[in-house]
Amino acid sequence: MKKSPSRWIQLCVLAAFFIAFGAWIGVMVTGPSLGRLPVIGPAPFFSLLNEKNQHFSSNQLQGRVWVADFITTQGQGTSPVLTSEMSQLQKEFQNKTNFRLITFTVNPHHDTPAILDQYSKKYDANLKKWFFLTGSAKQIYKIAQNGFKVAAAVDSQASKKCFVHSSSFILVDSQGRIRGYYDACIKKNFEFLKQDLKRLLN
């Protein structure tokens, strides 16, 4: 199906915005932070469903240090990379009682709680500490775009739905403040994330 010129313009503007934002935020993830970690802004409030079809809100993360990402269970690009590295974080920080992992799906129509539950098993997720969240597309995209300021979109006019989502991990401290973005497409950033996590957890 051909897209209209106006549709292409909309998509290009959306892509350009997130690329520009990524370039700006990139100064914070190109190496381990020196001195104090920057306080970028508050993490958004959210109230969604977890992989057990139970209500889960950001209020349950108060006093916890957590890492968030956005994926789709059918993704063949960055989604498997993000989830594999979240699994590594789970193993490395398993003894930290105040640490949590949050995975949001950007394809809630397909990624129901039951699908997310199956997906979590593939990565041996400890569901007491790692939560897979879904809701309406409107909720998810608002949390991503307006709250975390990262990409989450779908081109519904394409012949096959194509989901666009951030490839970054988002680090949030125990006071609910965003402290860093770490692009998983840059291999060294995963080590920087772990270093900064240790600083917040110690």
Identify which of 93, 79, 80 has the alpha carbon closest to the alpha carbon of residue 171: 93
Q: What is the pLDDT of residues 20-35, one digit of tens each?
A: 444 444 434 444 555 6
For the full predicted model, state whether its pTM sits above 0.85.
no
Give the residue numbers spanning the domain of 60: 5-201
Residue 193 clears pLDDT 50, i.e. is over it: yes
Q: What is the pLDDT of residues 44-61, one digit of tens each?
A: 999 999 999 999 999 999
E strands in 23-161: 41-42, 47-49, 55-57, 65-71, 99-105, 130-133, 152-155
> Which span out of 4-8, 65-69, 159-163, 185-189 was modeled with the highest average pLDDT?
65-69
Q: Say which residue the tokens 């098993």 belong to.
A: 121
CATH of the domain at 75: 3.40.30.10
Task: Please tell me the total count of domains within the chain.
Answer: 1
Angle at 66 between CA 179 and CA 95, to 5 degrees: 125
**Burial of 149 by CB count in 10 Å (0-12 exposed, 13-18 middle, 19+ buried)?**
buried
